[in-house]
A and B are shown apart, each in its own frame.
Chain A
Amino acid sequence: MSKITTIEPFTKGFVEAFSPELILFTGMLLLILVPNLGKGTFRIPGTQLRLPWLMGGTRFKFSSDPRLPAWIASITLGSAFLNVLYVFSQGLDRVLIVSESGKELFLINGFSRIFEMIFFGALALAAFSSMNRLQVKGIGSKVSENELYNNRRQADFYILMVTCALGMSVVALAQDLFVLFIGLELASFSTYVLVAFLKESKVGVESGMKYFIVGSVASGVGLYGLSMLYLWAGSLQFSVLAATFAVSGTTALPMIGIGFVLVGFGFKVSAAPFHFAAPDAYAGAMSPVAGVLATASKAMGMLGLVRMLLIVAAPESTDGSAVWLVCLGVMAAVTMTWGNLAALGSDNPKRMLAYSSVAHAGYMLAALTAVGAWNWDAAVAGDASAAAVAVMTALLFHLVVLVAFKLGAFLVLSILESEGGASRLSSLGGLAKREPLLAVAMFIFMISLAGVPPMAGFLSKLLVIMGIVRVAVGDMGAEITDGGIYALGDMHWVWWLALLMVLNSAISVFYYLRVVVVMFFDEPEEGREGPLPRGWQVRVAILACVLTTVLVGVAGDSLIRICEMAAQSLNYNW
């Protein structure tokens, strides 16, 4: 493992380390400025002299191009993504950015990098594929809601996308709980507005309001939890919190504080019972935005949970298993079951995907639970820390590939949405006849979500189950060789989470397949027999998702290794 370079902000190496964020920042500025470029002049006060300052007025042809903001955003996010990818491929330079007073602010390592990849990748895909989803026409007297997006509002849309990415990357890098929280709020506020972006429609604003109000309450609770932790530890630095937790972690104040913080992140990952707003939000938001919520935003929440639970309230603090073990186990079980059951009867594909996203959150929580089940402190020899790495690998892998097939599914819906809504299952009717390849893509996303081989979703679920089972089985394999006798009950109870998880994936097949059946079996809805809306960008994005889903499913070894590396870098000890 390479050495950690510690630098202060704006010193040597800072630009390299922060290059993705700087790219995003630049992109954001461009997004604000470029669409406003025009023949505007500035009249020097008191004179008739007008100096052209290129802002406002009649805009130039290129700056009034409705696709311009989307291109800028896509290129910005895409290059940020590529930048991270490049950095990643160059080996993991670990950089710790500290304040002048020595407080750790940001840590750049494999773990944060991979989350940045998830965030930027998801947002770049969403931005790129929204490009022709937002049809541009002049605002007439009678226009459909889709036609309302002139390029000025498009600029807003993409600015929010980029700020969202910025906020998320702050979350990824933060080494201070409060910094993390600020990043989280930045991203959250962006998503609130993005969800409510369809302000000309009832569902749009309603979903935005619900998402905003419930999200605010959750982050209010979380912030209060932070304040309690601060009151207890005197600092919100992870390193300090972890050290303090090891000493006096089991008192009431930190326990409740951690619980409150969990609420804040729980809302982001849409864990039960904080998930209620999520289906409404997904259903009301535009599909690409919903896709971002289900992937990047969820990854952000999960990242927060990981930081909180594994770094701060680390399992070795107590008798080997984490204090939050039961709590998280219950949460995982309830979340995955609830999500699947609710999705089972849902007729709205977007709600269905939302509930499925809740279920996937449950799977990830189960994985996280497994990490807490075993004392993975490096001091304990043997399989333990390797097991924890394995579970974390599974979690990261799941988050990464989720971008491909979850977002992909939403992108398919987005095409239908721009045609006139995708809020009923029957909207998908006859997709196989209308555009076979799109139906095949959707089919691949669905079976991947269900966890059917050979798709990426299967591999990710397999990894998660493997992680859980590995923790549950522990060292028994070796001990059996030495003469140990074990029964089912000797396995850690997280094994039952794995069982619940496989049963849940069996339930989930039911509703995923229903989508497939509708696409391949049912006739198109009336008035939707014709070809689907055109637009190559969204199709390219879907193709990218399909390829990722299939290729990772068939040959995911390198991604597993990348995730493993990232997982290893989560903790100095690992």
Chain B
Amino acid sequence: MDDWISMPLVGFPLIASIVLLAFVSNTNESMRRRLANPIRMATLVFSLVLLVITTGMFFQYFGNVSWEGISFNNYEFLHRYSWMESLGIHWSVGMDALSFPMVWLTTFLLPVTIIATWNEKNGATYFPILLAMGGALIGVFVSLDLFMFYVFWELTLIPMFFLILMWGGADRKYASQKFFIYTFTASVVMLLGLITLYFFQDPVNPLDYAGSMTGRTFDIPTITQHALMENSNGNWYLGTNIQKILFAMLMLGFLVKLPAVPFHTWLPDAHVQAPTGGSMLLAGVMLKMGAYGMFRLPISLFPHALEYFQLALLIIGMVSLVWGAIVCLGQTNLKKMVAYSSVSHMGVILVGIATMQPMGWAAALFMMFAHGIISPMLFAVCGAFKHHYHSMEIGAMRGMAKHSPWLATSMMFAWMASLGLPLLAGFVAEIMMFIALWYFLAAEGWSVFWMVGPALVLAVTAAYYLWSMQRTIFEGGDETQPPSSLHGEPVPDIANPEKLAMLILAFFTIVFGVMPWIALDMMHDWTIQIFEGLILPVLGNFKGGA
């Protein structure tokens, strides 16, 4: 067996979780309580198995794959099984240097999330749902078939919906529905875009993996290959207008998922109401699906449209960056603040993409990865805060450094990592983004003042994080009473599993901050491959070149 993806990474967690859930739902309440622990252990073990597989892939133990040097539109562990022949749908999986870090990130976050939310209520159903979430997320990243991609894309909504609905906060009913409907709406528009793209393929010239009924294919590598084609008139692939409209339709789905301003308002609601585990996976991986999708589809397929929309993306990105940060300043809810900071960080990704520079793209890719490690820690901290102080308001608990040194330290660390402290994972991406951004702006003759806005975001980010820390970690001490929400109970520090999770996350934040090349090298390689393999041959000379 050399297919390390289909069953081990995707099928196994999904099937295992369905089996566990089916098993659990046939039992009564007390039985379920007794089952919680074994199921938790089982899911932990399962998720660790996934982690071992992906880590083994990284170290070339499985498959002996060198993640650097995969040329554009080539994939490792590529396997195609016919699925719905009539429509040209295949179960088609594979990974390249774009998807592998995301897959690893998912498998890494899954056990960490399980550990961080070790004592979540109704564990017998909670942990299998987390596992299902992981399987669906991996499915998104390994899909090399548009249909399959979309199926997994939507499949991720279901476990997340239940995580929010069943384990969320007071307003979870509203938040879960909003989350589902909002992102679903965007993705059905994307679906229409995908289908329109599908039918714009030329069925007359023989297509690989085409459906018997339609004569077209959903196969991503095949379609991506078309992006390199010109027609006999020297026109762009699909032509100007069609490329633009398809690009816009696909981007809508991804921008909402990312999310970018002004499509972001589902995120604060979802995050604030979601349970810690949900938030961790949501912020850690699910948002990155948007950025991943952008790279995998619209960018790889429609370079010309990307060039056309470059400025629009830049503006959306900058607005997200600035808007998210400024809104953070106005928040009093810890988790909401962190949620908006995600919006701001996703703006970095968008700006990086809009620079149309390998460095900007590598910055975006690394930001996806780094934020995928940092933001779960942010939410783990928020979750612990809520769990222990029964409140999410900044200022509800002061002087945490005295009462809960572990939580205070974790919070300090996570906050610092998120505001882009050097030698922690987030910094590299930010500085690269800024360099690429100015490189583009300078080449276009823009004034340096355009840099000030995005750059001041760093100061604003620092402002809200410091402001919140001042009111949580600092101050208080003996004089301040513990929050009334504790009802006079002693102020607790975080529990051991939470400590472990924080330590793991902090460790990797440092590892990827000090040694970014571990992940960055393959991302860099991917950007070079797509530039030299697609963007430059197709676009020739475009904006941003000196």
- Determine whether A255 belongs to the interface, using a CB cutoff of 8 Å to chain B: no
Interfacial chain B residues near A286, Cβ < 8 Å: none
Cβ contacts A461-476/B at 8 Å (1 or 0 each)? 0110110011011001
B231 touches A483 (CB 8 A): yes
Contact for A466 among B87, B157, B161, B233, CB less than 8 A: B87
Residues from 214 to 238 in B contacting A, C-beta threshold 8 Å: 214-216, 231-233, 235, 238
With a CB–CB cut-off of 8 A, which chain A residues contact B157?
452
Cα(A513)–Cα(B161), bound, Å = 10
Which of B25, B176, B181, B242 touches A506 (beta carbons < 8 Å)? Answer: B181
Interface status of B184 (Cβ within 8 A of chain A): yes
Q: Which of A472, A516, A555 has the most CB of B within 10 A?
A: A516
What's the tally of chain A residues with a CB closer than 8 Å to chain B? 57
Q: Which residues of A contact B205 (CB under 8 A)?
A: 478, 481
Q: Does B480 contact A (CB under 8 A)?
A: no
Given A470-B199, A502-B188, A520-B166, residue A514 in contact with residue B242 (CB < 8 A)? no
- Residue B203 interfacial (CB < 8 Å): yes
Interface flag for A29 (CB, 8 Å): no
Question: Which B residues lie within 8 Å of A564 (CB)?
Answer: 86, 213
Instruction: Decide: B239 and A485 in contact? CB cutoff 8 A.
Output: yes
Residues on B with beta carbons closer than 8 Å to the beta carbon of A480: 200, 202, 231, 235, 238-239, 242
Assuming the contacts A469-B199, A506-B185, asked whether A483 and B213 have C-beta atoms less than 8 A apart, the reply is: no
Cβ–Cβ < 8 Å partners of B158 in chain A? 447, 452
Min Cβ gap B84→A in Å is 4
Main secondary structure of the interface of A (DSSP, over half): helix
**A62 neighbours in B (Cβ, 8 Å):** none
Interface string of A518-530 (1 = CB under 8 A from B): 0011000000000
CB neighbours (8 Å) of A482 from chain B are 231-232
Q: A420 contacts the other chain (Cβ, under 8 Å)?
A: no
Partner of A557, one of B85, B181, B189, B245: B85
* Identity of the chain A residue whose Cβ is nearest the Cβ of B235 in the assembled complex: A485
Give the CA-CA distance A521 to B215 in the complex, in Å: 45
**In the assembled complex, how far is the CB of residue A386 from the closest CB belonging to chain B, in whole angstroms?**
7
CB-based contact B195/A465 at 8 Å: yes
Is B310 an interface residue when CB atoms closer than 8 A count as contact? no
Are B155 and A488 touching (Cβ within 8 A)? no
* Given A454-B155, A473-B199, A480-B239: A521 and B245 interface contact (C-beta under 8 Å): no
Q: Chain A residues with Cβ under 8 A from B25's Cβ?
A: 436-437, 440
**Chain A, range 431-480, C-beta contacts under 8 Å to B:** 436-437, 440, 447, 450-454, 458, 462-463, 465-466, 469-470, 472-473, 476-478, 480
A194 to B253, CA, bound (A): 45
Query: Closest residue of chain A to B153, judged by CB?
Result: A453
Interface centre among A389, A453, A521, A555 (most CB of B within 10 A): A453
On whether the beta carbons of A483 and B235 are closer than 8 Å, the reply is yes
- B191 at interface, CB cutoff 8 A: yes
- Knowing A466-B199, A502-B189, A502-B192, the reply to whether A521 touches B173 (Cβ < 8 A) is yes
Distance in angstroms between the alpha carbons of A185 and B151 in the assembled complex: 42
Q: Given contacts A452-B184, A517-B173, is CB(A477)–CB(B199) below 8 Å?
A: yes
A487 within 8 A of B: yes
Residues of A within 8 A of B185 (CB): 503, 506, 509
Q: How many angstroms between the C-alpha atoms of A50 and B188 in the bound complex?
A: 73
Q: Does B150 contact A (CB under 8 A)?
A: yes
Instruction: Report the nearest A residue to B249, measured CB to CB.
Output: A499
Whether A486 contacts B241 by the Cβ 8 Å rule is yes
- Given A465-B195, A505-B188, decide whether A486 and B242 contact each other with a Cβ distance below 8 A: yes
Closest to A473 in B: B199
Does A469 contact B173, Cβ atoms closer than 8 Å?
no
Residue-wise, chain A 170-206 has the 8 Å CB interface mask toward B (1 for contact) of 0000000000000000000000000000000000000
- Distance in angstroms from B363 CB to nearest chain A CB is 33
A561 to B212, CA, bound (A): 10
In this assembly, does A359 line the interface, its C-beta being within 8 Å of a C-beta of chain B?
Answer: no
CB-CB under 8 A from B184, the residues of chain A are 450, 452, 506, 509
- Closest B residue to A561 by beta carbon equals B86
**Contact (Cβ within 8 A) A520 B198:** no
B11 to chain A, nearest CB (A): 12
Asked whether B162 is an interface residue with its Cβ less than 8 Å from the other chain, the reply is yes
**Are A486 and B239 in contact, with the CB atoms below 8 A?**
yes
Given contacts A452-B157, A469-B196, A485-B239, contact A502 B191 (CB under 8 A): yes
Contacts of A377 in B (CB 8 A): none
A447, B161: Cα distance in complex, Å: 12
B79-104: CB near A (< 8 Å → 1, else 0) gives 00001111101000000000000000
- Residues in A with CB closer than 8 Å to B546 are none
Closest B residue to A389 by CB, please name it: B213
CA distance A487 to B241 in the complex (A): 5
Q: Does A498 contact B (CB under 8 A)?
A: yes
Within 8 A of A (CB), among B161-175: 161-162, 165-166, 172-173
Residues of B at the A interface (CB closer than 8 Å) are 25-26, 83-87, 89, 147, 150-151, 154-155, 157-158, 161-162, 165-166, 172-173, 176-177, 180-181, 184-185, 188-189, 191-192, 195-196, 198-205, 213-216, 231-233, 235, 238-242, 245
In order of increasing CB-CB distance, the 3 nearest A-B pairs are A487-B241, A506-B185, A483-B233
Complex A-B: 25 CB contacts under 8 Å: A390-B214, A436-B26, A452-B157, A458-B154, A463-B87, A469-B192, A469-B198, A469-B199, A483-B232, A483-B235, A488-B245, A495-B196, A498-B192, A499-B192, A506-B188, A509-B184, A510-B177, A516-B165, A517-B173, A555-B84, A557-B84, A557-B85, A557-B89, A560-B213, A564-B86
